[in-house]
Amino acid sequence: ALWLLSVGPLVLLFWRQSFWITNEQGVWSYVWPPSQLVDFVLGAVAASLARRHASGAGTTSVVASAREEESKSSTEVLEPLLTVRARGLLADACLLVVAATCLCAPSSGARVGWEPLFNHGFGLLFAACLYGYAAGGGAGLAARLP
């Protein structure tokens, strides 16, 4: 819902003007402080969730966690690995959607029409990338690149 405060007015303007946004309107949507605040909050929420995820995993001592690992069945051991893998796949998929959209979308070079929607339209996808790549030591292919 918070993301809609950032991208919603721009989408409404885009729709009301017969699917066109001028360069000046696009610039205002980018430099207007409240729109930047929403993107900041999305990043802060993603970081907070990643930190909570990491702190939840690191609350036990090394000896206690080793004892717990010995007593777990194979399905209990695989469960966290599947969540790490799913988190990495989600982050990589979000990054691929952003990259494919930016690379495959035709560009006029003037930042008019639908291009200003890129300013805040990918906010949720970037937040998902931040969470997936940061939580629990990082997951996904892009997080493991040197």
Give the residue-averaged pLDDT of 70-89.
61
Task: Provide the sign of the torsion angle of the four alpha carbons 47, 48, 52, 58, taken in this order.
Answer: positive
Residue 83: Cβ-neighbour burial (10 angstroms; 0-12, 13-18, 19+): middle
Output 67 or 130, whichever has higher pLDDT.
130
Band of pLDDT at residue 96, cut at 50, 70 and 90:
very high
Q: Which pLDDT score is estimated for 64?
A: 45
Share of the chain above pLDDT 90, in %: 26
pTM above 0.85, yes or no: no
Q: Which of 56-65, 75-84, 132-141 has the lowest mean pLDDT?
A: 56-65
Give the residue-averaged pLDDT of 69-97.
69
> Which residue pairs, CB below 8 angstroms and at least 24 apart, start in 96-105?
97/125, 98/122, 98/125, 98/126, 98/129
Q: Is 62 helix (H, G, I), strand (E, B) or coil?
A: helix
- Inform me whether the pLDDT recorded for 90 exceeds 70: yes
Give the residue-averaged pLDDT of 54-70.
49
- Inform me whether the pLDDT recorded for 97 exceeds 90: yes
Alpha-carbon distance of 113 to 96, in angstroms, equals 23
Q: Which residue has the tokens 């040197």?
A: 146
Q: Which pLDDT score is estimated for 13?
A: 92
Alpha-carbon distance of 47 to 115, in angstroms, equals 28
Q: Which pLDDT score is estimated for 56?
A: 58
